[in-house]
Structure formats: C-alpha cells, structure tokens
Structure 1
Amino acid sequence: MPHHLRAHIRRLPTMMRFAPGLILAGPLLSLAAYLVAGEQGLIVGVLLLSLLAVAASSVLMRPAEGTVAATCSRAQFLADLDRFLMASDVGGQGTGCIVLQFDDTATLLDRHGRATQTDVIRRIADRLSGALRAGDSILPLDGGGYAVALAPSRRMDLETVVQIASRLQASAAEPIAIGERRFLLSCSAGFCLGSRIGRPTAAALLDAAQVAADEARRNGPGALRAYAPGMARKHADRDAHRAELEVALDEGQIRAWFQPQISADSGEITGFEALARWHHPDRGLMAPQDFLPGIAEAGLSERLSEVMLFNTLVAIARWDKAGLRVPSVGVNFSADELRNPRLADKLKWELDRFDLSPDRLSIEVLETVMTTGDADVAVRNITALARLGCRIDLDDFGTGHTSIANIRRFTVHRLKIDRSFIARIDEDREQQRIVAAVLSMAERLGLDTLAEGVETSGEYALLAQLGCGHVQGFGIARPMPFEQTMDWIVAHNARQNVLWQTSGTHKG
C-alpha cells in the first residue's frame, strides 16, 4: 500500500470527528486531491469520502448525552422518518415506527375531568420522551396516543423494537401522582420495521404501525402487536363493515322489535322488551348474535342505544294513542352509553319531548355493571335514572356476582332471572329450589321478579305457583316488529277477557 494512503487511513479516526463538515466540502477536496496526486489521489479521496459518509450518518444520528427526544409536528415527524429510511438504505442500518394508544382514557375523563386527563397524558408524554434517544422523534396523535420514529441503528431488528416498545409501555404504566391521587393508565402498542413494508415511505410506515396498534388495542389492555401484511386487509374489511353498520343504523335497517312480558298470575300485559334486529337488504332478517359483536367492535354501541331508545319512545306514544295499555318497555343500554355523564339529562329531555313519564321506561342493566366501584360514571348514571323515576331491571340475574348491598344501593326494582335457570324448571327439582330461593330473597327485599326464556306451559305454570311476578319468552310470544304488536295486544286482551268471563261463569 502506498505510504501516503497508509498515512491517510491512520488519520481516519481523527478525521471522523469532523466528518459532517468534511462531507459538505467533498467536491472541493476531490478536486484538490486530483490536482495534487492525479488519478491515484482522486481514488484515495473517493475512498476516504465514502468512509466518512458512513461516519457522518452515525454522528448525525447519535443522541447527545443528557438530552431527551422532543415531540414534533406531523410534517416534521414524517420528514424525520423519511430521513431515517434513506439513512438505513445507505448505511445498512434499520429503523422502525411504534404507535402507542392509551387503553381507557374515556374512564379517566368521566371520573376526573378533562384537566386531569390532559395532565396525566402530558406527564406520560414526558416519560416517553425521556425513555428515548434524542435522535428519535415523537408525534402526538389525534385522539390520544403517540407515534415514535426510531433513529437508524445496526441492531434495529424485531427483538430490539419489541424491547423498546415494552420499555415504553412499562414507562407509561407507572403510577402518576397528582396531589393525593394516584392514576394508572396502560397503553397498547403496535410497531412496524422499515424492512417489513413493500414501499418504505414515512407515510406507509406510520400507517402500518397504526394498523398494528389498532389490532393491539382490540386485544388489550396492554397488548403489543407487530405489523403483518394481512393486517391491512383485515383492517380495511373492518372499516368497510363499520361503514355498512353506520348505514344500517342511519337508514333504519337496524330497529327495535318487541317481546311481550305478562303477569304470571293474571296473564295481563305488563310490558315489552325492546330487542335489536337487522333487516339486511341482501341477507334478510339477522339475529342479534350475528351483528351485535360487530356493533361493539366498531364502537357504535352508543349509536345503537340511541336508535333503540327512539324506536321505543315512538312505540309507547303510538300504543297510547291507539288506547292500548303497555305500562313500560325495557331498553338495554350499552356500557358506552352508561358511561355518558349526561345520560340522565339526555333521557329526561327525550321523555319530555314525547310527553312520557319516566316510569314508562325500564332500564335493563347487566350484573357486571353493578359490581364496579360506586365512583364509576355508569353506576352514578343508574342511580340518577332511578331518581328520575325510571325502573331499573337487573338483567340475567344469577350469572354474575351481584351482592345484596349493590342491589339496595342502586335502587333495583326488578330481578330478571336468567333463562338458564328457567329451562325445564317443571321437571328439574334442583332448578326449582334455586328459583324458589331467588324469589324468596326478592320478596324479602321488596323486589319484583321476571323469568326470562319461558317456552312451555309447564314452565309458566310452575313459575306462577312459585310466586314469580312476570314471565317472558317464546312460550308467551316471540319478538315482533312494532307493526305486529297492535294486533297481538288486541288478540291477547280478547283471550284474557274470555278467560275471565269463563272463570266468572264457573264460579257463579
């Protein structure tokens, strides 16, 4: 090797400290090398500049000690990510993008207000910034959460990104003290390596990480998912299904059907339950189990509750106008709707709009809602609705862990005994003992009772004998569209009149 080339190479470590500046002067240095040493000098110069290019990339991407990454605008974030991808291509390094989404900011907002929610999220953002290198970029996302662009590194592989994402999740999940209160807020995370997408652009990489984060959140809380090519198609299918459900709700394809409830003693109509049905334009009538999970996954449960409430109030008003007595109608509210702090005011406004008293509505609540803490917005709403005058039905009783204290505290009016305890009760002595115990407890607590899923005359007769207040099920009538309820009410009342007249004649 020529002596002057060996000398240049020995000085390379020192020169690397000045690599960024030397790269900018590259054209002038190459010309000088050619003038001094001819073609051989030019070759040496190009070789040194190539080595310095790699060194410059490392220097530019290396974080300064004692600093933290700062949040940036979307435009700056995408520019940084594009730069990271280009540097990865040149230097044989790797980069990636992580998206972090908070799991339950809605509950934090409901319980403690907007100011506290903002403060908690800001403090978590500071933690995330401190857990990253100054070369990384952080983008606050619309709707909460953060995206992180990882500066290029030779060891930026799957295992490394998993470790970084897990560290960020752990950092976010540490308790936050504000005054005397402590807050915990977990986050789900999705990530994508630059090498995992076909066309590595900043926008494509961010979108892929977002898709992975959405998948993680659906499997959360605290889940972590890596992007896979099939996720994008799955995500697109879900978006298309959500759009279809939104159209169905807006155009009245999904609407309330009504199932009668009658007195187990007299047979008199005591109410209806409103149940959702989808009249699909291509698939025909769809049962709840075929679309309600999709409604919940698409985040449309609150919109469904609004549709069901409106259909119910319209039905009650029309029954009243026709002179048909229907004391109350049961409506199921989703957990999302029950977390709405303005639910009681909203419901009162709707009742006033239809000139209906609150006792015409029975709010059906699952046992799982009753077992949450008494500070929860859903529980406060239940209490407020009871004070307003609505009836509170505890649905599917016997399948959860409701305590007697919760039943009394939340002003429950009626227990709906789950159908699993009603099936073949006229033949199963064990079922009889269980239901008899529930009915005895309800009587001592001053609660009304309703048995769900009554399908045979034998079940009906035994429930009446045991002292159950009301019955509902296919043995009485199947759910029906509103248009059929008028004729059913008239026919049922006519049958009851004949029975009463016959009974009176026999007694005479």
Structure 2
Amino acid sequence: MRLASLSGLCRPPNAFDRLWIGVLLSVSALGAAFALYAGMTAVDLEEMRTAAARLVRVQTVSDGAGIEIARGIEAAAQDMDARRRTFQLSVVAIVLLAALTVQLPAYLSAARQQRRSDRALDRARLALTRLRAEMAQLSDTALHDDRTGLPNGPGFRAALDRWLAVEGDPIAVIVLDLSADGGRDRLPEGIVTSLSSTLDDALEGDPLLARLSDTEFGIATRKAPDPLITQILTILEQPVVADRTTYRPRVRAGYAVQRPCDSTDLITAARKALQQARSHPSRHVVAYCDDFRATETTSAQLLRDLPDALFDGQITAAFQPQICLSTGRLTAVEALARWQHPALGELEPRTFFPTVRRAGLTYDLDRQVWSHALRQLTDWRAQDFNIPHLALNASLETISCSGLLTRLLAQLSGLGLSASDIVVEVPEQVFGTTDGSEAALNVERLMAAGIRVELDGLSPNLTSVANLPERGVSGVKLDQALSCATPTPGRARSIRAMMTLLDELEIPASAKGIETDQQSRHMADVGCVRVQGNLITAPMDAQSFRRWIADGAPGQSSAV
C-alpha cells in the first residue's frame, strides 16, 4: 500500500499542477521582493526620523527655523512612506498581471481538456451500457433456438446445471426424436415448429422444454418420466397436414434419471437410450439403466478383440431363409454376420457392428462374411440343394469402396458362381448420395455386371418409391418398422398403396423381422408375400441350415 501511494505521488504533472506551481513560485518571488524593499525603506525612514528628533532637541524652542526644518523632514518621510506603499501596490499589480498573463492560457487549456475528458467519459459510459445490453442480448440469443424461441443445447445444459444445484426430487432428462412416418424422413420445419409450440403450451413451462437439434427435443422434469412421455406421445403423434400432404409424426424417446453426474453426462445417457429406441423396430421409449454400462464395458472389450477376430475367422455367416407366403417356397437366403466370441459366445451385429464401424473395419467385416457365405453356397449347390440366390448385405462404407466389383467378380469366378447367383442389399442412404459418388457408381457397375441390387429398409414415402425406377434396383425390402409395427387401418392403407405402386413399377418387395402370425397376416393383407423372420426360422449356422434344408425345407423339390 505504501509503495502504491508513493508511486501515485510520482506521477507526471498535469496542466493544473503546472498552473499552481507557477502561481506559488510567483507569489514566493513577490513576497521576497516585498520583504527586501520594505526592509530597506523602513531603515531609511527610521534614520530620517532619528536625525529630525536630534535636530529638534538641539534647537531652542524659540528657534522657529529648526522646528520648520524638522517638520519638513517629517513630511518628506511621510511622503516617502506613501510612495513606498504605492510602489508596493504597483509591484503587486504588475506581478499578478504577469502571473495571470502567463498562467491564464494554461488554465483555460486545462479547463477545456477537463471538459473534453468529461464528455469522453460520458460517451464511454454510454457505450459501456449499450455494450452490456448487446452482450446480454447476444447471450440470450446464443442460449435459445431462433426458430422456436426455446432453449437450445447450451441453454438446456445451463438450465439443467441450475436445477442440479438445488436439492430436491431426482431429475429426469428426456430426449425426443421427431421424424416422419418411417423414421427416416424429416418433417418440414413448419410442422416441427408448430408441434414444439403445441408441446410447450401443453407442458406450461413445467417441465423444462428445449430444442437440442433440428429433430431432437430435450425435457427436464422432477416428475415421473413414464406418464409424461405417454402424454407427449399423445400430443405429438397426431396426423398433421401441410401443403396438401398428410404427415404422421413418429416419436422416439430415451430418458435417464439423475445420478451423481453433471448435465452433460445426464443428457448423454438419455441420448444413448434414444439411440436404442431409434434402432428398435417396436420399442419407442427406452430408459438408460445399468445394462447400458455393461454394454459400454463390452464395447471396449470388443474393440480390443476385433482385429484378432477378423484374422482368426471368428466372424462367420448365419443364414436365414426367405419364403413366399402364397406358395410356401424358398425364394432366397440372406447371409447375416455373427461373431463367435471365445468369451462372450455368439454375438449378433446389433451388439458389435457399432464397434466395427467405430474401428473403421466395416469393409473387412463384410468381405469376411461374404467369403464365408459364398463358400457355403458353393457347397450347397454341390449337394444339389436348390438355393435360388444368396443375399449379401453391403454397408454404406463397403458399397463406397473403389474396386469392389472387380474383387467380387474374381471371388465369384474362383468359386464357380455367376453374377445371377447373388443379390447385394444396400441401405437406403446409398441412394441419397450424389450421382458422381463412388457408392452410386458401384451400384451402377454391379447392375451392369448382372448382379441384382435391392434396397434394404424402404421407408413409407411414396416419393422415394416413385424414384426407384431411375435407380434401377431389382427389389426392395420394407423397413422393419413397417413390417413389425402394430397394424392399424391407416398404416395398412399406406403400405397397401406403396405395394400397389411397387407392383405397377414391377419391383418385387419383401419384409423382414416377421415374428408373429399377426404380422404375417398383415403383410399378406397388404400384398407383401415374400417374408423372412423368426416366425419361419431364426438365423442358423451353415450346418444347421443344411439340416433344415435336408429335413424338407419348402421349395426344394423344384426350382422356384
């Protein structure tokens, strides 16, 4: 503190400091001059008065001339004293005038500078006030969605952190995914905005509602999540008409209940549950639970074991037949990936495929499954089993690989198979790529070589169905959400209209995931007669499938 005060005293002098220093120096010089002049004049006057007094004492009273002389001396002394005072006043006036002449411009300049500084300070204060208001507005904008006015992702996390800081009932975070009928198509922005406004009004601000992305909404509540989700589904899953088109929104939800964690962990847990709901054909709502943690632990183990599994041949193919409901005959066999893990047993793709994709080994996985399946097809043909054709699944990464056709044709030739013996099933995303992409080019090359290409997972969008002839696909497989969903009159009409359009386009369709008689009858009613699923038989290894055929599988007496 002492050093700070000393440093303040040592600052450079400003205009006012120089003004007052000049005044003090002038006054000091004037005082010194006065003192010197006054001392000298006082000595002279005193000597004159002393001499006059002595002269008066010497002269007699009768001596009038001496008295007159003394009086003259006294008058002269008084006159000198008066002139001294006049001189002093003149000197004071001259010094003050000189000081005023010298210091007045500096004073006026300092006054102007002070006024300018005051105005600049006022402007700075006004600018700071405006800046604070703009920053507050920008902060509010950064935390809210500009289309709906709801909190966005950062705003939702900030509000959730405030909730978590207050003790009370456990907080549940719900993440909703809002899409069109088939789950693959996005709703128009106007419908999403309208639905969010309707949902916000219904919830009345409690719980907290936010828009996390174009199709995702977040909800934080201290209420029980299950009844709230039921209410939300009732509100959102109602037909909506826009631009003469009827949309039936489909909602998937994942939620997590508060644990010792922050807002990011809670939202992440809810999103993991939502991912499960998105991939499940019939389960629309999934809660994050301890099983997810076990799955995450398993994923880490699979990631470590995956390279050895591909090298050691632990990745094999399982086979599931496809039959015609009207004739009962075998129409195709699909090869499905299986991992024969030494510690975890047989694993299905839904367990390990995310790990494979994260490791960037999707093409290696497909290539190994294809090799195993093609060798089995060669063995079955050698045993005179009637296998119409083998369906091979190609991921988006695989169908985008350069040189795919050359390697596949070489493999077929080496096994004595032809292009007509196989069908390559590709995901719908392939047809969303640009025409010049490697995926689109590979599809064209496969079809040009005589290999049939089918679309796996067709969503119920008549526009996408109408565009299929331009793609040249040989067939389609319905999305599992359609074939496994609970049949309703409206859904049945939509699927029947799609099947009618496919028949007119002469594009065969099939359904997968059929597990109940009700689903089988539903597909037959809407005109889809080629089906596969656990109702017929679960996927089998090569030996089990051989026995299934040998025991009289449908369609083995003659070619289909």
TM-score in terms of structure 2 length: 0.44
